[in-house]
A and B are shown apart, each in its own frame.
Chain A
């Protein structure tokens, strides 16, 4: 079997582990977080590298974002990805999932031959999970979402797809787009040697002109959805805080207060 051509789609996102706290005025204070590879996409990279180790594959990482998204691609190279392409263009700013998926699908067409497209099941900043299936539609290829693991055999992909209360085993012909969950094989870290190799590699940066996308079909103009308004959300409740005293006293305090308020945990549990 010839080596498998894999494209892994990755997005650079603000670090979800960054601490978020509430400021005195009740608004949220999001620490200026460093940017990282979307955690779900790391599982997609790992899955691609596993195929490469087992069957032999050429793995290309493709990302869309500002110039600094190069850092995410550099890390993907250090993990073991062969080539990296960044689609970066000011005219893409404000693209919704339809416009984003369209632009990425054009970039994929430009790359040409592919057997497998992998991406995370969603991003931790957008949480839509829409871009993967939308790309599959633009390319006219099948998709399997929420894939925990898969194998390639006899020109088919056999995938375990997680669903509510269980899973499915699906078989698809190639090429296919898979979105990967974070329940499978743990993603590897970049090795020192990997980092050294990655530094020497070029990241191909392209604009929408390079992939034959017209300005009107991306960005705010090319996005059917518009943001009407954005509000800071602060959720508040009546708070009664017990502190100080012995553990015994604290627990008694809480139970007494609950009782006064007509809340009986034991009764409610029955």
Chain B
């Protein structure tokens, strides 16, 4: 779509029928920031069946308006019906910006809609901002453009992408990067119930036969305070026993680099990095991880990073607050033993500890 009178910031509110996705709440936080910068309203689009109560929650987390679309056929997410509802709403209401979480739903839905509206879409943004954009070729200046910021070329560089001419400006935003906004149950907002027409054949091309929730020791990395990660240096599935043991002593979770997952030593649900999850634990302990940018991007929001690697030149040491140069198969058993001892002592001596956020500096090198 070309530019007309487009205004407002929209987020797509994902849920599984029982709760709103955490990534959606994060979107409300960053959406709020963008909406305030351009002086616009923040709206959420909520699609499903029997989910009106979620609308109040979206408002309490920062939405000014909630477009509520309820229909029995829309109980579970499927691409085509949801794409139709959302494109119809966008065509009618003309938001300037539409944001999605970069999860399996957002990454399925957003490109479908962007292609239908013939507009731009930037995937997996790790930051969003607003500013001017000058088109070098035409010399035209665009005001208040959405800066869609993301790692590119496997994470070697950070690119700022803009969609100057087409509307809406669309982006998917990486989960786990932005903090949850504060909940304010007393916030005012408006709920707009939308009537929709469904039932055409082409919208029902795909049918859900089954949805299966799998625990299978699924790594809950998003909320973990402490994560112990293993990489190529761990050497095999056996080596992950040590990683798991350290994680257990620290009541933490187990993470892994792509090298370890690709080698089949641990499942993809543990993968941290550009391909994989983005995490923000208090402590990240990287064991046998070389420090490829692809991995480091996923842990850069950790408050403290401790690296153990036998190669003193491993790039991971550049990203770490603390490092041990040594063989993890020698270091970890001793570390685990000592931590166990300290833990035993601590049982009688408990006190609160505050972790200082160790600021992370981004250097720009021309």
CB of A251 within 8 A of CB of B115, answer no
Which secondary structure characterizes the binding site on chain A?
mixed
Nearest chain B residue, comparing its CB with the CB of A242: B324
CB of B218 within 8 A of CB of A247, answer no
Give the residues from 71 to 130 in chain A that come closer than 8 angstroms, CB to CB, to chain B: 96-98, 101, 122, 124-130
Which size class do B's interface residues fall under?
35 or more
Interface string of B316-337 (1 = CB under 8 A from A): 0111111111100011001100
- Least CB distance from B191 to A in Å reads 27
- Least CB distance from A233 to B in Å reads 4
**CA gap between A22 and B155 in the complex, in Å:** 13
Interface string of A243-263 (1 = CB under 8 A from B): 100011011101101100011
Given contacts A227-B160, A228-B160, A236-B361, contact A268 B210 (CB under 8 A): no
CB of B206 within 8 A of CB of A230, answer no
Confirm or deny: B243 has a beta carbon within 8 angstroms of a beta carbon on chain A. Answer: no
List the B side residues contacting A68 at CB < 8 Å: none
Which secondary structure characterizes the binding site on chain B?
mixed
CB of A268 within 8 A of CB of B283, answer yes
Interface string of A40-70 (1 = CB under 8 A from B): 0000000000000000000000000000000
Not counting A14-B154, A224-B165, a sample of 8 additional A-B residue pairs whose C-beta atoms are within 8 angstroms of each other reads: A27-B365, A130-B114, A164-B103, A166-B213, A232-B364, A233-B158, A237-B319, A265-B226
**CA gap between A225 and B170 in the complex, in Å:** 10
Interchain residue pairs with CB less than 8 A apart (19): A16-B294, A22-B318, A25-B365, A98-B115, A133-B79, A142-B79, A142-B205, A170-B206, A170-B209, A224-B119, A225-B162, A236-B318, A236-B363, A243-B312, A243-B326, A251-B334, A262-B353, A265-B342, A269-B252
**CA gap between A129 and B122 in the complex, in Å:** 10
**CA gap between A134 and B165 in the complex, in Å:** 19
- Least CB distance from B30 to A in Å reads 18
Confirm or deny: A26 has a beta carbon within 8 angstroms of a beta carbon on chain B. Answer: yes
List the A side residues contacting B205 at CB < 8 Å: 141-142, 172-173, 176
Confirm or deny: B192 has a beta carbon within 8 angstroms of a beta carbon on chain A. Answer: no
**CA gap between A26 and B214 in the complex, in Å:** 43
CB of B162 within 8 A of CB of A226, answer yes
Confirm or deny: B255 has a beta carbon within 8 angstroms of a beta carbon on chain A. Answer: no
Confirm or deny: B52 has a beta carbon within 8 angstroms of a beta carbon on chain A. Answer: no
CB of B79 within 8 A of CB of A237, answer no
Which of B116, B123, B304, B361 has a CB less than 8 Å from the CB of A137?
A: B116
List the B side residues contacting A166 at CB < 8 Å: 211-214
Of the stretches B55-63, B64-72, B145-153, B181-189, the one at the interface is: B145-153
CB of A251 within 8 A of CB of B335, answer yes
By Cβ-Cβ distance, the 10 closest A-B pairs, closest first, are A224-B120, A128-B123, A225-B120, A137-B115, A243-B325, A142-B205, A133-B111, A130-B111, A134-B115, A269-B250
**CA gap between A265 and B352 in the complex, in Å:** 12
CB of A227 within 8 A of CB of B123, answer no
Confirm or deny: A2 has a beta carbon within 8 angstroms of a beta carbon on chain B. Answer: no
**CA gap between A146 and B107 in the complex, in Å:** 10
CB of A96 within 8 A of CB of B358, answer no
CB of A234 within 8 A of CB of B365, answer yes
List the A side residues contacting B252 at CB < 8 Å: 269
Nearest chain B residue, comparing its CB with the CB of A236: B361
- Least CB distance from A174 to B in Å reads 10
Nearest chain A residue, comparing its CB with the CB of B225: A268
**CA gap between A122 and B362 in the complex, in Å:** 27
Confirm or deny: A241 has a beta carbon within 8 angstroms of a beta carbon on chain B. Answer: yes
Nearest chain A residue, comparing its CB with the CB of B364: A231
**CA gap between A96 and B338 in the complex, in Å:** 53
**CA gap between A171 and B139 in the complex, in Å:** 50
Confirm or deny: B112 has a beta carbon within 8 angstroms of a beta carbon on chain A. Answer: yes
Confirm or deny: A12 has a beta carbon within 8 angstroms of a beta carbon on chain B. Answer: no
CB of B363 within 8 A of CB of A228, answer no
CB of B326 within 8 A of CB of A247, answer yes
- Least CB distance from B262 to A in Å reads 8
CB of B293 within 8 A of CB of A233, answer yes
CB of A247 within 8 A of CB of B207, answer no
Interface string of B186-204 (1 = CB under 8 A from A): 0000000000000000100
Interface centre among B154, B214, B358 (most CB of A within 10 A): B154
- Least CB distance from A235 to B in Å reads 5
Which of A132, A170, A172, A230 has a CB less than 8 Å from the CB of B159?
A: A230
**CA gap between A27 and B283 in the complex, in Å:** 26
**CA gap between A28 and B155 in the complex, in Å:** 10
Of the stretches B41-49, B90-98, B343-351, the one at the interface is: B343-351
Confirm or deny: A145 has a beta carbon within 8 angstroms of a beta carbon on chain B. Answer: yes
Confirm or deny: B6 has a beta carbon within 8 angstroms of a beta carbon on chain A. Answer: no
**CA gap between A161 and B163 in the complex, in Å:** 31
- Least CB distance from A19 to B in Å reads 8
Interface centre among A128, A171, A255 (most CB of B within 10 A): A128
